[in-house]
Amino acid sequence: MLREQGVNGQLEMAAAFDRAGFTAIDVHMTDLITGRVSLQQFNALVACGGFSYGDVLGAGGGWAKSVLFQDRLREQFAAFFANPDTLSLGVCNGCQMISLLQELIPGADNWPRFKRNRSEQFEARLVMVRVEDSPSLFTQGMQGSRFPLAVAHGEGRAEFQNSDMLNALESTGGVSMRFVDGTGQQAEKYPANPNGSPQGVTGVTSADGRVTLMMPHPERVFRTCQNSWHPDEWGEDAPAMRLFRNARKWFG
């Protein structure tokens, strides 16, 4: 569970991964910088949500630069992402941060950056998402599923350099999750789309599915009781729990 100054979602994330059968370890960036901990000790990396450096350097920008501008850390992250036996997840601020490490991640060529919401305000509520057909290892077997997830961000709008990049990401199955409206159609209008991302894009994945980014917070609603309403037949686990169990299943 990787965090930086200002990140606050590591305990919820650890609880979700723990419930799925992982051993969750709290790692601060200072642990990596000082060499107390190495990414090579782990087979899964989760960049958690919050507000690294208060987002004063842009959405996840300060956090990403602490990796990109330190050669030893840069090499360590590049080696981790290149290792075919590893899995990575970035949520909210962690999504923003890992998107800025794109040059270190194989198969992430057409990923967007995440910019200020069109509403020009912080959006914190439940939204409806739809899982798309993609290689993401977190969403296997969930294609077409629609369920609510929490959002809490001021800079979550996916911004592509040009329309060709978005089209290329779409055509290769790189979009793993979208905002949808009450009829299940992709949402581009507020409030169903809380940030204005084109075509409702709110989750992306690398070409081999090992690195997945999403703006919504599945860790905040993985238990049924964390949802404001749910069908009686849901039982103890909400749909978001499947994301974490998929990850555990991949490791065998």
From 4, 123, 132, 219, active-site residue? 219
CA 232, distance to chain mean position in Å, is 28
Question: Does residue 28 carry a catalytic annotation?
Answer: no
Active site residue 92: yes
Tell me which of 48, 92, 153, 155 is the catalytic residue: 92
Cα 117-118-122 angle, rounded to 5 deg? 40
Catalytic residue among 48, 123, 155, 217: 217
Q: Is 217 assigned a catalytic role?
A: yes
Residues 212, 32: Cα–Cα separation, whole Å: 22
Residues identified as active-site = 92, 217, 219
